[in-house]
Chain A
Amino acid sequence: MINLIQIELFKLFSAYRTYITFAIALLLMLVINLGLYSDGEELFGFLLQSINDYFYIEGNVVNGYLIAYLALNTLWIHIPVLIIIVTANIFSGEFELGTIRLLLTQPITRTKLLIAKIISMIIYNFCFMLVIALSAIIPSVLLFGTGDVVVFIDGIQFIQESTFLSRFFNAIIFATMAMIAFSSITMYFALYFKNTLTAILLSLGILIIMTLLQTFVIGIFSSWQPYLFTFHIAKWQLLFVNEVPYKSILNSVYYLMAMSIFFIAISIFKFNRMNISE
């Protein structure tokens, strides 16, 4: 199995597409940092105007930690999009190239092959989120320094400087789990349709529709909210409230894990019964 995982990782990291997603992630973080470096003071001055009437704020509010927190908001759409593209290609790319025939005519079982691919997908997710984490925190701290953070989640939250890094990296771990869950959906589509573009479009469609339902919670949709995976993905934000609701976050962790296991299981089932006739 380790052999197969090594092969999958070798293929993954030999493809320039993988590095493009890393480069885009770095660029994304750089743009956020540069944008806030040039206009940040003005923007935050405007945002803090309303609370300045009630609070006396001392020190550097626009600091690297706040920027790193804001950068995490790319978790809504930008990061999933990049992850979808690579994940879809890990699975359906083999069908499109025809290399699935090469792999499946070797003395390995389909289940082992798929598990090796899933593990390499998980490793990619970890690497990608690590790049996101480091590129979010290092340049922002270097450019803006550190300090306490004021964020708006269910009201104003004041995060002490000393607790920020642990909250930030917990959020990254949570987000990685969320991205793995989302990748599992993409994997299923990629195997079902054997086509990268279809898998990407369907995954994006689900992401966009669920985000919209999540954003415009109206009428009957409000009761559906806990069943939307975007509802659970968003729980990373709760790691930045003063009293972290760990129970609620843990429930979402269970939800995302169950979702990953479900899609991995049906993907293995499907893959083992699939005719590779083309």
Chain B
Amino acid sequence: MYILKVENLALDYGKQKILNNISFAFKKGQIIGLLGPNGAGKSSIIKILAGLVFPKSGKLSFNKLPKKSFSELREYCGFLIDSPAFYPFLTAKQNLYLVNKINKANADLDELLQKVGLSQVDKKKVKHFSTGMKQRLAVAQSILRNPEVLILDEPFNGLDPNGFQDLINLLKDLNEKGTTIIVSSHLLNELEQFADTFILLHKGIIALDISKSELLKSKKKVAFTFESEPSIEVTEFLNTMDVVFKNPVLAVLQLNPNEIATVVNKLVAMESTPINVETLTILQEKYLEITK
């Protein structure tokens, strides 16, 4: 069941088209990765969903109910907008207190700060915070109301490896409890670790919309690198496959996931063990293509 559905979303800044009549839908309870290089339109989509930017056109429905404006989503969604900002003259706890009060929520701020690893610095003014600490605080404010949908724009920016892992664990935990999570990032590796669905954007259009299960089932490009030119027998064997590219020491094949091991085993049996085997999913392939 779709929790959030957007149709024909378009956004222009002057003559520049930022989003070009795109439509997408997010399934309830999933983690959705919005991917794309800088300028692809990820942040614009999130700003429209947050009601910060008004689109030229676009229809929205939430839990199958049509909504008049995108700003209505704020009732159900928690947001972390790119480059989170806080009142620098207030402490971490005071900043959260403001958000708590705006929402008339009754969140346990100490627990929340502990959840994002900031309990030791709750009385420290935010002006003394590092980028990573601000990012953690931004996550805390976005989950304060226990929203149905959590929408995060580049949440991993400025996080160290521990912070990154902590955040992934926190998001997975929230997702297990039923929160639908939409995460935008320009880094594919980050999202591949935990997203269920991927939407790849490029120049304001959706270049690919694929679920993880579809991705796992789909054919992959596999590049076999050999130390020297393989024998005629091996070349003939490779030619029976779906060859994408070939030169004397490199063969790129399009294979089903279950075929990869078979091919490798066969090559080993033919005494032409490749020195390197690289696989590219359709998502990685597409991403590389548009970021070239």
Q: Which residues of A pack against B, CB within 8 Å?
A: 3-4, 6-7, 10-11, 14-16, 97-99, 101-109, 273, 275-277
Contacts and interface: CB of A to CB of B under 8 A. Distances in A.
Interface size class of B (residues with CB under 8 A): 20 to 34
Please give me the 5 A-B residue pairs with the lowest Cβ-Cβ distance, nearest first: A98-B85, A105-B79, A276-B52, A107-B74, A101-B81
A7 B89 CA distance: 14
A108 B44 CA distance: 21
Contacts of B90: 11, 14
Nearest to A11: B87
Contacts of A107: 74-75, 103
A72 B113 CA distance: 49
B53 A276 contact: yes
A97 B88 contact: yes
A78 B141 CA distance: 40
B54 A98 contact: no
Contacts of B79: 105
Given A3-B102, A7-B102, A106-B74, A99 B85 contact: yes
A14 B99 contact: no
A106 B13 contact: no
Interface in B40-84: 44, 47, 50-54, 71, 74-75, 79, 81, 83-84
A91 B104 CA distance: 23
Given A101-B81, A101-B85, A14 B94 contact: yes
Given A11-B90, A14-B87, A14-B89, 19 more contacts: A3-B102, A3-B104, A6-B101, A7-B102, A97-B86, A97-B88, A98-B83, A98-B85, A99-B85, A101-B52, A102-B84, A102-B85, A102-B141, A105-B52, A106-B102, A107-B75, A107-B103, A108-B74, A277-B47
A148 B170 CA distance: 73
A57 to B, nearest CB: 53
Nearest to B151: A105
B244 interface: no
